[in-house]
A and B are shown apart, each in its own frame.
Chain A
Amino acid sequence: MSNAVSTAPRTATARTGAEHTEKRKAALAWLTVPALFFFVVFAVVPLAGVLILSFTSWDGIGAIGAAGLGNWFSVLADPGLYNALGLTFLIMIVSWLVQTPISLLLGVFTAGSQRYRAALAVLYFLPLLLSSAAVAIAFKALLDPNFGLATGLGLPFLAQDWLGVPHLALGLVIFVIAWQFVPFHTLIYQGGVRQIPKSLYEAAQIDGAGTMKQFFHITLPQLKYTIITSSTLMVVGSLTYFDLIFVLTGGGPGNSTRILALDMYLRGFRANLMGPASVIAVILVIIGLALALFLQRLGGKDKQGSQLEGL
């Protein structure tokens, strides 16, 4: 490198454009070193560690012993894994179905400029500021069948055993996740909507298109990449929902909300089974990567280009 720089021709005219670009690229390559370093230390090394651990038997305290494929066979034969997988995908899909339309509509609404919308937007975005643990504790207290909101407000229909009946607990988890994350996705959609050029709507109005038509023919298509971004975050994020469910239900009642990430934690740190927990971690990584790649594919080949091209 140092040679390349010091032997560089002194006359600028001798340089071709291509040569210059090559040199710039080489110099810029150094810029990736810190990022690569952190990536290797904090992503590649732990990932390799987890992969190795998945072939060992370890209680987290004593000596590590080799287990071969034993952990993989026992975890893959465990009905608990399929329960957790099923719940993870169920929560992922239902969460997407619930959150996407709400945050899309809220995003479109709050992208407008009237003053009352700004005030409303602040209210919508409030849950975003709270930590998951705080949200879970608050909901748990509010929904307490004996001392919660139902008793306080005298609303007997609210006095359900929300976190004690399997299907209610699952529904509630999905609701609280939506309550917490809809503001975040609303923010993404709001940004997306504000990027859409006004001229498109003006042209549509001249052609006599109504609000609905404008929404379906301009807003929605223009938001294609925003939808993909938001969906990727939602889908991949739902694989790692942990804190909220951990505090809210602890995976219960029974195993009705024990999703994959929670299953991994409980196996590893509660039951001292680091090997099987690592197997689950590897499965999570594989699913996460596959989903992220799939969603990026949905964006099509032109995903790097501007959506405003051709205007």
Chain B
Amino acid sequence: MKQPQTSRRSFLALAALTPFAVAATTACGTSGPGASSGSGGASMWYLSGEPNQTTMQKAADAFSSANPNDKITVTYFQNDAYKTKIKTAIGAGQAPTIIYGWGGGTLKTYAEANQVDDLTSWFEENPDLKKKFFPSSFGAATVNGKIYALPNQYVAPIVLFYNKELFEKAGVQPPKTWDDVMSLVKTFNDMGVAPFSLGGQSRWTSMMWLEYLLDRIGGAGVFKAIFEGKPNAWLDPAVIETGTKIQELVSAEGFIKGFSSITADSNADQALLFTGKAAMMLHGTWTYGGMKKNGQNFVQDGKLGFVQFPTVPGGKGDPKNGVGNPAQYMSISSKASDKEKESAKKFFKDGILTETVIDTYINSGSVPIVNGIEDKLNTSPDKDFLNFVYDMAKSAPNFQQSWDQALSPTAAEALLNNIDQLFLKSITPQQFAENMNATLGK
């Protein structure tokens, strides 16, 4: 009787201990890439998706084989998944050495929590590197006068795309003023074509309209005051006029029927433009590559037109002002070891935006944020578009970073939610301004 009982009990004891053992091993396993130390090298998280993923992998491989002691290990994530994952990893102190991002409000939260390194003095030591990039690309990398990120990749302003074929058929010209916009809405609706394509379910797509309208109506200063958190900045009459214009456009059926159930992730909004179901689309220049690839020669046959956002009569904004993404950004985690930080900085200097990478971006229809690339742009088959983007980014008196990136995550989420309701006409422009005003300083 005794023997089996003891053995059963030792078995039970073992069973009871197993979870501890499991917990102990898992704890080791989750120490994360940020904790790796020793023989140099740096880890980086980056976005999957082409052509960026291949470009980055090639750049990292080239750098790693040239610098065996500073190997760069890249892990790829999908866009939305990455945004949540990096936030959680940073909060848990397990960020990779190189933190990829969009600058602005999110970078500000990282910097204020001392999670990313101040790179100001490093840029002063490397003046050539700083001079290499568009000056405008540093704005969203700067928090309280200090630079916390390396600008990289390409500039992506938001422009008004249009379907040249449909415009010829209707015998009209692309809009230069807001009155043109409203009259084109009527023209195309009478033709049975939707005036504007919009992936409204994504919400940031609708936001692009507000960004431009507010700039054209009130000038760049209105959003600057909002960004700086000045009291009652959202209650500026220009904000209310912007909201009113948007609701007028919605009421005039300016956007395609069902716009609030279309998402931008599926690229259905681009498809509406190149299949001729919609005549115009306000979107970032990053959609050019996609339309070229999926539009069945729509772009190649020269049917895609592009112009700057129209002016608003009586508006204060400079018609050359642009909005969009001035660049993408990379920061260095303050939790990384000194050796990892050294490797990362070396990679920043020698490995990113090499000649090969610059060529790859140009070939995919993007304008890298590097000065003096005019000659390269001119040899590209997409030179009309690339020069248009380049000139726009270079000559814009003010290039406003997308609002959802510029604002803090808290304010940005409130903004997207209120924009959705504004476009649905479930709140008035006045309510929109008041709701947003309550988020100032958050």
Contact = CB atoms under 8 A, between A and B. Distances in A.
Contacts of A146: 256, 258, 262, 268, 272, 277
B16 A253 contact: no
B260 A62 contact: no
A34 B409 contact: no
A14 interface: no
Contacts of B257: 145, 161
A33 interface: yes
**Contact-residue bracket for chain A:** 35 or more
A162 interface: yes
B183 interface: no
A134 to B, nearest CB: 15
Contact of B5 (A5, A41, A252, A266): A5
B115 A61 contact: yes
Contact of B261 (A62, A161, A254): A161
A273 interface: yes
Contacts of A272: 87, 109, 408-410
A161 B262 CA distance: 9
Contacts of B410: 59, 271-273
A41 B268 CA distance: 45
A229 to B, nearest CB: 29
A253 B19 contact: no
Contacts of B417: 255
B176 to A, nearest CB: 28
Contacts of A5: 2, 5-6, 9
A145 B272 CA distance: 11
Contact of B200 (A60, A62, A164): A164
B112 interface: yes
A143 B413 contact: no
B91 A33 contact: no
A177 to B, nearest CB: 18
Interface string B124-145: 0000000000000000000000
A267 B413 CA distance: 8
Contacts of B19: 34, 37-38, 41
The bracket for how many chain B residues form the interface is: 35 or more
A52 B114 CA distance: 24
A5 B2 CA distance: 8
Interface in B298-323: none
Contacts of B62: none
Given A162-B261, A255-B421, A34 B18 contact: yes
A144 B271 CA distance: 12
B414 interface: yes
Contacts of B203: 250, 252
B414 A271 contact: yes
B432 to A, nearest CB: 12
A147 B410 CA distance: 34
Interface string A252-267: 1111000000000011
A147 B268 contact: yes
A269 B85 CA distance: 10
B201 A164 contact: yes
Interface string B102-115: 00000001101111
A252 B260 contact: yes
B280 to A, nearest CB: 16
Interface in B259-276: 259-263, 266, 268, 271-272
Interface in A29-71: 30-31, 33-34, 37-38, 41, 59-63
A270 interface: yes
A270 B424 contact: no
A254 B18 CA distance: 49
A147 B271 contact: yes
A161 B200 CA distance: 12
A31 B11 CA distance: 10
B356 to A, nearest CB: 35
Contact of B109 (A62, A159, A166, A255): A62
Interface string B70-94: 0000000000000010011011000
Given A61-B90, A62-B113, A252-B420, A41 B23 contact: yes
B15 interface: yes
Contacts of B258: 145-146, 159-161, 164
Given A61-B90, A272-B410, 6 more contacts: A59-B109, A61-B87, A62-B109, A62-B112, A253-B201, A271-B414
